[in-house]
């Protein structure tokens, strides 16, 4: 056994308990999500409601309103965190996120167009339009990012950023033109898991499952890409194909998340960085780690949004944007000083 092989179990020996601590923190966050809000529910009553033994209004609040909302938060947070880790690995850009591919802006533009032209009024009606808009925007960003038949990470990020700005301006123009569309779309555009239930989540599960499997299978390849394209090619890896599959996974994951909850920013950027600080850059640990960190961040922001202005709520997308902006500045400054 070589010294490297011997070092791997030692390195994993402390990282696995860290994942366990993360799971415990996520479980606590789930309990708080079920218990806290405009109407606080004691933890014993939460447990009774989940076991089917509770009765009365507390049980109805837990099982009928907060449990679906919490499950949606878990799935959307995990999906956004995973999409962020993959897009950062594929582009080798620590500031990349699903938003840099225009996914959020594409989904928002498609939903606003659908509301404006078809008069849609329910979030469940937005699903197909949101996912299609996200996929179309990402496909266009990928086309802009190709050079000589290969995917150029720098061109991809720049092209996606420009596309996002264009789509946001078009969306704003429509909202200024139509007050009815603004009234219908502004709640969805804020990004929220409030009033999101299984009727919205279940239709997107096939794309979420496929995207998750693709992302997790790419972990060893993403480690090789981190060494550079030449090193990955020398190892016999098809770099262009890996990037394409990674982008497909990102579109499936982020497009599904946006379709379910609307545009929620910074989870895909922050979760991978937080996990790297603790577990390092090995994608075999990073990708499982973001499946914990993503929902932990999202549910934490959702709980904060319920508590800061009772009995009203601040949408989770607003909270993540408010907290994520300073993080983006810090990351950009750290990157610039290297």
pLDDT band at 6 (very low <50, low <70, confident <90, very high): very low
If you average pLDDT over every residue of the chain, what do you get?
85
Q: How far is CA 186 from the centre of its chain?
A: 20
Buried/exposed 227-250: b ≥16 CB within 10 Å, e otherwise: eebeebeeeebebeebbebbbbbb
Secondary structure element (H or E) that encloses residue 151, with its range: strand 150-151
Higher pLDDT, 239 or 256: 256
In the prediction, which pLDDT does 149 show?
A: 60
Question: Where do the domains of the chain lie?
Answer: 80-86+96-191+200-336
Over range 189-195, report the average pLDDT: 86
In the prediction, which pLDDT does 7 show?
A: 42
In the prediction, which pLDDT does 14 show?
A: 65
* pLDDT for residue 84 is more than 90: yes
In the prediction, which pLDDT does 50 show?
A: 85
d(CA 225, CA 44): 49
Of the listed ranges 55-59, 89-93, 162-166, 323-327, the one predicted with least confidence = 323-327
The percent of residues in the chain predicted with pLDDT above 90, rounded, is 33
According to DSSP, residue 266 is labeled S
- Global confidence as pTM: 0.89
pLDDT band at 334 (very low <50, low <70, confident <90, very high): low
Domain formed by 80-86+96-191+200-336, architecture: Orthogonal Bundle (1.10)
The per-residue DSSP string of 279-319 comes to H-S-HHHHHHHHHHHHHHHHHHHHHHHHHSSTTS---HHHH
pLDDT band at 331 (very low <50, low <70, confident <90, very high): low
pLDDT band at 5 (very low <50, low <70, confident <90, very high): very low
In the prediction, which pLDDT does 335 show?
A: 56
pLDDT band at 158 (very low <50, low <70, confident <90, very high): confident
Over residues 287-303, the pLDDT tens digits come to 999 999 999 999 999 99
């Amino acid at each position: 056994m070589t010294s490297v092989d011997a070092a791997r179990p030692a390195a994993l020996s402390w990282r696995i308990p860290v994942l366990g601590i993360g799971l415990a923190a996520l479980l606590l966050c789930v309990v708080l999500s079920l218990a806290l809000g405009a109407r606080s529910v004691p933890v014993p009553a939460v447990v009774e409601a989940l076991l089917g033994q509770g009765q009365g209004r507390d049980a109805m609040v837990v099982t009928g309103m907060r449990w679906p909302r919490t499950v949606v938060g878990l799935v959307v947070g995990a999906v956004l965190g995973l999409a962020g880790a993959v897009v950062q690995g594929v582009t080798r850009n620590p500031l990349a996120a699903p938003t840099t591919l225009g996914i959020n802006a594409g989904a928002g533009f498609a939903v606003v167009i659908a509301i404006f032209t078809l008069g849609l009024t329910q979030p469940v009606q937005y699903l197909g339009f949101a996912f299609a808009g996200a996929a179309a925007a990402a496909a266009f960003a990928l086309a802009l990012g190709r050079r000589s038949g290969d995917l150029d990470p720098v061109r991809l990020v720049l092209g996606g950023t420009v596309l996002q700005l264009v789509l946001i301006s078009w969306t704003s123009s429509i909202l200024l033109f139509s007050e009815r569309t603004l009234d219908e779309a502004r709640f969805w555009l804020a990004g929220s898991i409030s009033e999101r239930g299984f009727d919205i989540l279940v239709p997107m599960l096939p794309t979420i499952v496929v995207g998750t499997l693709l992302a997790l299978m790419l972990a060893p390849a993403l480690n090789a890409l981190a060494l550079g394209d030449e090193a990955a090619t020398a190892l016999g890896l098809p770099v262009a194909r890996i990037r394409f599959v990674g982008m497909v996974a990102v579109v499936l994951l982020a497009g599904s998340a946006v379709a379910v909850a609307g545009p929620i920013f910074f989870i895909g950027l922050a979760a991978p960085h937080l996990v790297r600080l603790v577990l390092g850059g090995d994608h075999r640990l990073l990708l499982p780690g973001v499946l914990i960190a993503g929902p932990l961040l999202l549910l934490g922001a959702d709980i904060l949004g319920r508590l800061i202005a009772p009995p009203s709520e601040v949408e989770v997308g607003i909270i993540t944007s408010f907290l994520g902006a300073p993080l983006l500045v810090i990351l950009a400054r750290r990157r610039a000083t290297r």
